[in-house]
Amino acid sequence: MLADENPVMEKAVNKLLYVSADEKLRVEYEMRLKAELDYQSAMVSKYKKGKAEGEKKKSLVIAKNLLKKNMAVDDIAEATGLSKEEIESVNASG
């Protein structure tokens, strides 16, 4: 059996057997596991959102610099992935 060959698997099997034996303990274990997974999911979402916001800010700074060099808005939009409206708003804000 796999659990006999791998100490990590043996520990997991033993934990499963222990928790499965007691209904209340199993429910508590599942609730804790769900809470941990929910927390991890929330942290990943926050990381992705922060990364996207940072990339957007960087693109806006690049667009502003390219506008100062008189680059065409269409070309800046293509290079940065920003919309023309976003680039023009950067231009308007100075």
Specify the pLDDT at position 75.
94
Q: What is the pLDDT of residue 94?
A: 63
Residue 74 clears pLDDT 90, i.e. is over it? yes
- Token representation of residue 8: 């990590």
Query: Within 10 Å of residue 30's Cβ, how many Cβ atoms?
Result: 11
Residue type, 76: I
- pLDDT of residue 68 exceeding 60: yes
Burial group, residue 23, by CB count within 10 angstroms (0-12, 13-18, 19+): exposed
- Reading the block at residue 2, the tokens are 């796999």
Give per-residue pLDDT as tens, 1-59. Answer: 555 677 888 888 877 777 777 788 778 888 988 999 999 999 999 999 999 999 999 99
Question: What are the C-alpha distances in Å from 53 to residues 36, 71, 90?
Answer: 26, 24, 16
Q: What are phi and psi of 45, to 5 degrees?
A: -60, -45
Q: Is 81 left (phi over 0), alpha (psi -120 to 50) or beta?
A: left
